[in-house]
Amino acid sequence: MKAVITDSQGGVELRDVALPERDDYDCLVKTEAFTFCNSTDSHLVNGTFPWEKRCLGILGHESVGTVLEVGRKVRNLKVGQRVLRPTAVWPNQDLSGFHSLWGAFSEFGKVKDYQAATEDKLPGQAEVPGYAQYQQVVPAGIDIEPALLMIGLKEIWSSVATIKDVT
C-alpha cells in the first residue's frame, strides 16, 4: 500500500509499505480521506517538535475510513462502518521500517475494538494502545467532510478542556 512518509527535515514523499499488522481485536480500514494537521504534522515534517521523534515515519492522525474486515474477537465494529482515525501503525511502533508519527496518511489503516479488548483481558494486562480510544464510529448518514471536521472539533475541545481559569 502507499503511505505518506517524512524524514523530519522538510521532506515528504509517497512510499510503498506493508499492510497494517492486525490482531484479533483490530479491523482493517480503507482510508477515505485525511487532513493535514498544521500544528502536529508541520512540526513532524520540519523536525520542530519539542520532543524527539524517530523518522522516517508515516504522517497523520486526522483520517476517516470504512471498515473492510474485522478481527475474530471484534464485537463492537462492523464491516461498512465509517470510523475516525484509522492508522497504519500504532504510535511507538514500526511498519516496514517506518516509525509511526500517528501513521494515518496511508491507503489502509486499522482501528481497535477497544471495548472488546478491555472486556476480555484482566485489568492492567490489556495491551490496547491509548490511541485506540480516539478511534470512534461515525454516526450513520454523516459524510466524509463532516466526519473530518469532527476530528478537528474533538481536538479543539480537548485543548479547551485543559485550560485552567487564569483570572
Instruction: Tell me the average pLDDT of the chain.
Output: 87
Residue pLDDT, tens place only, 103-142: 889 999 999 998 898 888 755 555 667 777 788 999 999 9
Of the pLDDT bands very low, low, confident and very high (cuts 50, 70, 90), residue 165 is low
- Dist. CA 135–CA 143, nearest whole Å: 17
- Dist. CA 67–CA 79, nearest whole Å: 5
Q: Within 10 A of 55 (CB to CB), how many other CB atoms are there?
A: 19
Q: State whether residue 5 is helix, strand or coil.
A: strand
